[in-house]
Amino acid sequence: MSSKPFYYNLAPEKILEQVQSSPQGISEAQAQHRLLHYGKNQLKGKAHKPAWLMFLGQFGDFMIIILMVAAIVSGLMGEITDTIIILIIVLLNSVIGFVQEYRAEKAIDALKQLSITTAKVIRDGKIQNIDSQDLVRGDIVQLEAGNAVAADLRLVEAHSLRIDESALTGESLPVDKNAQTLTANDLPLGDRLNMAYKGTLVTNGRALGVVVATGMQTELGHIARLLDQDEAETPLKKRMSVFSKNLTYIILAICAIIFMAGWLRGEDLLRTFMISISLAVAAIPEALPALMTIALAQGANRMARKNALVRKLPAVETLGSVSYICTDKTGTLTQNKMTVVESLSFDNQDNNLATSPLLLAMSLSHDVAVNAPKNLNGDSTEVAIVENAIHTLGFEQYQHLHTQYERIAELPFDSDRKRMSTIHRTEHGYIVLCKGAAEAIASTLSDTTQAQNLLQAADQWAKQGLRVLAFSYKKIKDLPEQTSIQSIENEFVLAGIVGIIDPPREEVKQAIAECKRAGIKTVMITGDHPATAAAIASQIGIFEENDLLLTGQQLAQLSASEFDKKVTQISVYARVSPEQKLQIVKTLQGKGHFVAMTGDGVNDAPSLKAANIGVAMGINGTDVSKEAAHVILLDDNFATIVKAVREGRRIYDNIRKFVKYVMTCNSAEIWTIFLAPLIGLPMPLLPIHILWINLVTDGLPGLALASEHAETNVMHRAPRPANEGLFAQGLGYHILWVGLFMAGVTLGTQAWSIQVAGSHWQTMVFTVLSLSQLGCALAVRSEHTFLYKQGIFGNIPLLASVLLTVVLQLTIIYIPFLNDVFKTSALTLNELLICFAAAAVIFHAVEFTKFIKPQKQ
């Protein structure tokens, strides 16, 4: 037998003693002390690569290796200056690569810091919410359906508790748990029914447990299996890597051709070799994946500032493709500030009860924590009901009811059943109180006329947009052997109904209109009554003429193909079950849509996972739904999804911009070197020039383009098809043709300057190509708007990097020492102006492509 303590075969009192706690929990001071002593309740993740290793890692890069080979070859051939310069370039490239990787990692870390979960504990006898990383041994934790268990707990109380332990044991079905002490020793994890382990999920019921282990001391810590930490490659990065690989082959082939051609023409072999290598280094866009990660991670941080917390990085880039948003109603579209505005008691006063059955049920059948008359904590529907009951009865009588009718059992609410029941002791036996959706209560009533009346009344209020809850009760002498749904929830008498308003959020109507302009259809999926759903959906512009509303029941009766035909006409789904949400997602996806779906409950997890973007609620969502989601809304607000989509589109645009910029410039370099010999010109550039252009022009402006503002039309165009390649919409052509044009202007300058400028010609060619790349950087800032209109100061980092590059270029032209190193010569003012003019021609040509390019729809 192992010497590890087994908490499951000790009685709760013994455990409390062992962990020095009590039913009132530990004190705040004890908690702080233990936290200092035992550390935070965290699993140790993969350690980060130290910075120096990350820096060294840059030297393993394929391009850097080629460059170093080139440096060695130059050295062997006696070209020591070249060797030194190449090595400096290698170093600078590695520094830039390191800074990019480091920034990307920091940005991703910052994101991780944001996603913290909380736990409800009893400390100093008071219930409080704390960061789950601050849990310590001895803390008493409250669990309820939807919670992720934050530490290893010995249960001391459990009601209908069921826990999904698949993360720990692999068992896919949730396990029923209780608080009974076990007698056996050495039970496997799955059989320890009075324990709740870190990393598992509560799918049903409520419980109280005492923390017996935290952090790496937990079972999860022992097996060191981290919770789903997949940092999947984003689809775009995956496509980019494939593309880069193919491009590498093409460029290597081109370089081989250039080398062979030079050789056949009898040119200096070393120089031709170096040119080919430099070109390969310059043309292969090795900075793109790092730039992409930075763009995505920075975008995710910007989204977090706007209350959309991205849990999975690929979501940042794919948000822009969303064509359908399926959203909950309560709390997401509405304010979740509920107030009872109507109430109707169906049953006459029962003299044996302290008050009417309706008020009794409103007061007792809920899980709201009432700390003071105005300090209520819990589900907003229930809070509204309890507030109303306290207002009617007075706080004292409300409290008195709780002592008079002690709750002895309950059948918790779930959104499939849409009702909950509680059992209370009375002087003469027991009373069962039930509350829920009108149909959910109607189906359990013994009197069918009452059921009819209930449904009619509910329908009328629902049509006004009210959320309707019904209440029923029954008195029983004895308790059934088992308190199950089957044995308890039948033969009820109707007590009454209440109507609750929950006004739509103010910003939602505008957000839905914005979606419509952006080609995104918003669909409401709610557990609420169809009439309530339709009323609210019409108010906010979701439910329009010719749109259809479908209830869960109707949906269940449709065949898959019938539903498939109708699905795009439906804008409101009411009374649907979480399983049906999954069906809706899959059907829409089958029609080629890219679906964002919101969810907050335990049962929403499968549909959140299946959706292209699963969106969980930060305030009212369960931990289970948050675990399954790609994005968490910190303010539970629908409008935040739209902001995130907007940001997603902007990020994708910016990725396209820096790809366009980097690749167009690379293409210009390849065309220039490839075409020069074909039209009878000497090799236009030296290897050192190519490396310089690559170094100074690629990295910085590319980085600056990643933070370009959103285009004015960003939410006025249809979503980008999810499978559309990065080079669609004319990007590939732009790279080829604009690159060719730049090469044409450069070669034109070469042909002319060889005649006129004598020995300066090469410096002119070098300067034209360098400056024209900067012109290109400025022009690609917008796909549609001219720079003159957009304003030159819209992206200060870009402007600064362009100016800096101009200054650097002038330095290597005019400082005599650098002339030797870079094999340049000081240009006359006229020659310099000609270079600027040539670059200006290229800038305007790129601007002109916006004019002829068809606008995106």
Contact partners, residue 762, CB within 8 Å, separation at least 6: 684, 685, 686, 689, 823, 824
> In the complex with ligand ATP, which residue's Cβ is closer, 410 or 698?
410
- Alpha carbon distance 746, 765 (integer Å): 6
**Residue of 105, 233, 379, 459 that binds ligand ATP (CB under 6 A):** 379
Q: Could you tell me the smallest distance in angstroms from the CB atom of residue 570 to ligand ATP?
A: 16
Q: Could you tell me the smallest distance in angstroms from the CB atom of residue 660 to ligand ATP?
A: 42
Binding mask 613-632 for ligand ATP (x = CB under 6 A): --------------------
Active-site residue, selected from the candidate residues 328, 414, 600, 698: 328
Q: Could you tell me the smallest distance in angstroms from the CB atom of residue 540 to ligand ATP?
A: 13
Q: Assess contact for 441 and 489: CB atoms under 8 A.
A: no
> In the complex with ligand ATP, which residue's Cβ is closer, 157 or 379?
379
> In the complex with ligand ATP, which residue's Cβ is closer, 160 or 666?
160
- Alpha carbon distance 270, 76 (integer Å): 11
Q: Could you tell me the smallest distance in angstroms from the CB atom of residue 499 to ligand ATP?
A: 11
Q: Could you tell me the smallest distance in angstroms from the CB atom of residue 568 to ligand ATP?
A: 21
> In the complex with ligand ATP, which residue's Cβ is closer, 361 or 787?
361
Strands annotated E in 93-221: 118-123, 126-131, 140-144, 152-164, 175-176, 195-196, 201-213
- Alpha carbon distance 188, 306 (integer Å): 45
> In the complex with ligand ATP, which residue's Cβ is closer, 162 or 329?
329
- Residue 581 binding ligand ATP, by CB under 6 A: no
**Residue of 97, 205, 436, 699 that binds ligand ATP (CB under 6 A):** 436
Q: Could you tell me the smallest distance in angstroms from the CB atom of residue 417 to ligand ATP?
A: 8
DSSP at 436: E
**Residue of 415, 568, 589, 819 that binds ligand ATP (CB under 6 A):** 415
Q: Which stretch binds ligand ATP (CB under 6 A): 34-42, 102-110, 374-382, 514-522?
A: 374-382
Q: Which of residues 719-758 bind ligand ATP (CB under 6 A)?
A: none
- Residue 505 binding ligand ATP, by CB under 6 A: no
Q: Assess contact for 451 and 379: CB atoms under 8 A.
A: no
Q: Assess contact for 795 and 781: CB atoms under 8 A.
A: yes
**Residue of 295, 420, 537, 832 that binds ligand ATP (CB under 6 A):** 420
Q: Assess contact for 619 and 641: CB atoms under 8 A.
A: no
Q: Could you tell me the smallest distance in angstroms from the CB atom of residue 147 to ligand ATP?
A: 16
- Residue 380 binding ligand ATP, by CB under 6 A: no
Instruction: Determine how β-strand 152-164 pairs with β-strand 175-176.
Output: antiparallel
- Residue 381 binding ligand ATP, by CB under 6 A: yes
Q: Which stretch binds ligand ATP (CB under 6 A): 435-443, 774-782, 783-791, 810-818?
A: 435-443
Contact partners, residue 270, CB within 8 Å, separation at least 6: 73, 74, 77, 79
| Straight-line distance from the first to the last Cα atom of the chain, in angstroms, rounded to the nearest whole number | 70
Q: Which of residues 194-233 bind ligand ATP (CB under 6 A)?
A: none
> In the complex with ligand ATP, which residue's Cβ is closer, 168 or 360?
360
Task: Tell me whether residue 698 is one of the annotated catalytic residues.
Answer: no
- Residue 699 binding ligand ATP, by CB under 6 A: no
Q: Assess contact for 742 and 671: CB atoms under 8 A.
A: yes
DSSP at 461: H
- Residue 418 binding ligand ATP, by CB under 6 A: yes
**Residue of 134, 382, 410, 669 that binds ligand ATP (CB under 6 A):** 382
Q: Considering only CA atoms, which of 854, 773, 842 is closest in space to residue 809?
A: 773
Task: Report CA-CA distances (Å) from 589 to 568, 586, 592, 611, 720.
Answer: 11, 5, 5, 8, 15
Q: Could you tell me the smallest distance in angstroms from the CB atom of residue 617 to ligand ATP?
A: 9
> In the complex with ligand ATP, which residue's Cβ is closer, 533 or 838?
533
> In what side-by-side order are the strands of the sheet with 429-436?
339-345, 493-501, 467-476, 429-436, 419-426, 407-414
> In the complex with ligand ATP, which residue's Cβ is closer, 82 or 382?
382
Q: What is the total residue count of the chain?
A: 857
- Alpha carbon distance 757, 237 (integer Å): 46
**Residue of 219, 528, 708, 783 that binds ligand ATP (CB under 6 A):** 528
Q: List alpha helices for 430-484, DSSP H.
A: 438-442, 448-463
- Alpha carbon distance 529, 352 (integer Å): 34
For ligand ATP (CB under 6 A), the number of binding residues is 18
Q: Which residues pair with 175 in a beta bridge?
A: 163
> In what side-by-side order are the strands of the sheet with 521-525?
308-310, 631-633, 613-617, 595-599, 324-327, 521-525, 570-574, 548-551
- Alpha carbon distance 667, 655 (integer Å): 18
Q: Which stretch binds ligand ATP (CB under 6 A): 216-224, 265-273, 432-440, 691-699?
A: 432-440
Tokens representing 549? 């509303």
Q: Could you tell me the smallest distance in angstroms from the CB atom of residue 453 to ligand ATP?
A: 17
- Residue 527 binding ligand ATP, by CB under 6 A: yes
- Alpha carbon distance 649, 645 (integer Å): 6
> In the complex with ligand ATP, which residue's Cβ is closer, 350 or 379?
379
Q: Could you tell me the smallest distance in angstroms from the CB atom of residue 149 to ligand ATP?
A: 23
> In the complex with ligand ATP, which residue's Cβ is closer, 70 or 326?
326
> In the complex with ligand ATP, which residue's Cβ is closer, 86 or 631?
631
Residue nearest to ligand ATP (CB): 527
> In the complex with ligand ATP, which residue's Cβ is closer, 201 or 523?
523
Binding mask 462-501 for ligand ATP (x = CB under 6 A): -------x--------------------------------
What is the dihedral sign for C-alpha 475, 477, 483, 484? negative
- Residue 638 binding ligand ATP, by CB under 6 A: no
Q: Assess contact for 639 and 505: CB atoms under 8 A.
A: yes
Q: Could you tell me the smallest distance in angstroms from the CB atom of residue 370 to ligand ATP?
A: 15
Task: Report CA-CA distances (Å) from 105 to 51, 384, 553, 734, 756.
Answer: 11, 45, 48, 32, 52
- Alpha carbon distance 258, 272 (integer Å): 8
- Residue 437 binding ligand ATP, by CB under 6 A: yes
- Residue 419 binding ligand ATP, by CB under 6 A: yes
> In the complex with ligand ATP, which residue's Cβ is closer, 97 or 436?
436
- Alpha carbon distance 719, 712 (integer Å): 15
Q: Considering only CA atoms, which of 21, 282, 163 is closest in space to residue 602?
A: 163
Q: Could you tell me the smallest distance in angstroms from the CB atom of residue 379 to ligand ATP?
A: 5
Dihedral through CA 577, CA 145, CA 319, CA 235, nearest 10? Answer: -100
- Alpha carbon distance 325, 5 (integer Å): 50
Q: Which stretch binds ligand ATP (CB under 6 A): 97-105, 311-319, 410-418, 631-639?
A: 410-418
Q: Which of residues 270-329 bind ligand ATP (CB under 6 A)?
A: 328-329
**Residue of 413, 543, 692, 741 that binds ligand ATP (CB under 6 A):** 413
Q: Considering only CA atoms, which of 852, 834, 659, 806 is closest in space to residue 745?
A: 834
- Residue 335 binding ligand ATP, by CB under 6 A: no
Q: Which stretch binds ligand ATP (CB under 6 A): 218-226, 394-402, 416-424, 725-733?
A: 416-424
Q: Could you tell me the smallest distance in angstroms from the CB atom of residue 567 to ligand ATP?
A: 19
Residues with catalytic function: 328
Instruction: Tell me which residues touch ligand ATP (CB under 6 A).
Output: 328-330, 379, 381-382, 413, 415, 418-420, 435-437, 469, 526-528
